[in-house]
């Protein structure tokens, strides 16, 4: 069944399968949003069903919550959990220091809140998400709808003094209408091309009235698990300073391929 997957989906599955091995019964686990995180939720659901894994999941979006319930994971709120053992999520980009750009799926606010309320954060990814310098992927910034055009103008003015290559901004759309997050906000995508000082930019953006949160995750990720289509998986631990390579059997996840659509 796994032979029907594209190489990139195989890589995503490999990273998700390996990350699921860090989850133990009794844990409270943050469940990310996006195509790679969806593989993780399916893997955990298989472990709940077949291996007796007992966990409580805190999803970072309504669609992740729906999927988690479908596969048998007990879903609770962050308020109920209060603190998490682990969050596993995808990323749109990551650099050598494991700093991230997230928010391509529109859930950056909940994702950042959940990740920072965890003992550790693991990012699952394929090799295409690794970059030398953040910024090729548009940086999402969540803004409140009231006065969003003024907020946009303020951001564009501020970017003039930032170490970035581009300053184009765009309101994210959902067809003919603005995209609305789970919290009822809009997203501005900043096309910066290269971010020279991500830490500074993150701080400056969040000081602006109208900005709720930005998609730069600085010093939040502890480990990146990067999958490859041939079954290899690379584990990078920023705290230990280690890089390990393993191999995962693609046939082990055959049960979750049958009805999974991405």
Q: What is the CATH number of the domain that holds 192?
A: 3.30.70.260
> Can you give the pTM of this predicted structure?
0.93
The predicted pLDDT at position 254 comes to: 55
The answer to whether residue 168 sits within a structural domain is yes
The answer to whether residue 246 sits within a structural domain is yes
A 10 A CB-CB count for 97 gives 13
Binding residues for substrate: 33-36, 89-92, 102-105, 129
Q: Tokens in use for 44?
A: 């955990």
The answer to whether residue 180 sits within a structural domain is yes
The answer to whether residue 134 sits within a structural domain is no
User: Which residues does the chain have with pLDDT short of 70?
Assistant: 1-3, 252-262
The answer to whether residue 202 sits within a structural domain is yes
Same domain, 9 and 109: yes
Same domain, 115 and 143: no
Number of domains the chain is built from: 2
Taking the C-alpha atoms of residue 262 and residue 260, their distance in angstroms, rounded to an integer, is 7
pLDDT (tens digit, 9 = 90+) per residue, 29-78?
A: 999 999 999 999 999 999 999 999 999 999 999 999 999 999 999 999 99
The answer to whether residue 262 sits within a structural domain is no
The predicted pLDDT at position 261 comes to: 42
User: Which residues form the catalytic set?
Assistant: 111
The predicted pLDDT at position 256 comes to: 54
Same domain, 148 and 239: no
Same domain, 87 and 146: no
pLDDT (tens digit, 9 = 90+) per residue, 128-155?
A: 999 999 999 999 999 999 999 999 999 9
Same domain, 125 and 143: no
The predicted pLDDT at position 255 comes to: 58
Q: Percent of the chain at pLDDT above 70?
A: 95
Asked if residue 233 lies in contact with residue 239, where contact means CB atoms within 8 angstroms, the answer is: no
Read off the DSSP letter of residue 183: T
Taking the C-alpha atoms of residue 248 and residue 253, their distance in angstroms, rounded to an integer, is 10
CATH of residue 45: 3.40.50.1360
What range defines the domain where residue 209 resides?
139-213
HEC string of 13-30?
Answer: HHHHHHHHCCCCCCCEEE
């Amino acid at each position: 069944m796994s032979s029907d997957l594209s190489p990139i989906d195989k890589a995503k599955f490999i990273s998700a399968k390996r990350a699921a091995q860090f989850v133990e019964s009794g844990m409270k686990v943050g469940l990310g949003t996006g195509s790679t995180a969806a593989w993780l939720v399916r893997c955990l659901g298989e472990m709940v069903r077949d291996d007796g894994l007992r966990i409580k999941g805190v999803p970072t979006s309504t669609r992740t919550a729906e999927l988690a319930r479908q596969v048998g994971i007990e879903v609770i709120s962050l308020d109920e959990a209060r603190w998490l053992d682990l969050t596993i999520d995808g990323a749109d980009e990551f650099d050598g220091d494991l700093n991230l750009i997230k928010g391509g799926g529109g859930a950056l606010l909940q994702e950042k809140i959940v990740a920072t309320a965890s003992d550790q954060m693991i990012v699952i990814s394929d090799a295409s998400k690794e970059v030398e310098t953040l910024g090729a992927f548009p940086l999402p910034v969540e803004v409140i709808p009231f006065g969003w055009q003024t907020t946009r103008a303020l951001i564009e003015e501020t970017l003039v003094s930032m170490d970035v290559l581009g300053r184009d901004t765009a309101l994210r759309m959902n067809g003919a209408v603005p995209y609305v997050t789970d919290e009822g906000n809009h997203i501005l995508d900043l096309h910066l091309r290269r971010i020279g000082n991500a830490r500074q930019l993150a701080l400056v953006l969040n000081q602006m009235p109208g900005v709720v949160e930005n998609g730069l995750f600085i010093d939040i990720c502890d480990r990146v698990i990067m999958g490859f289509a041939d079954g290899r998986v690379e584990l990078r631990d920023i705290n230990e300073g280690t890089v390990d390579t393993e191999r995962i059997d693609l046939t082990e996840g055959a049960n979750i391929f049958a009805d999974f659509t991405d």
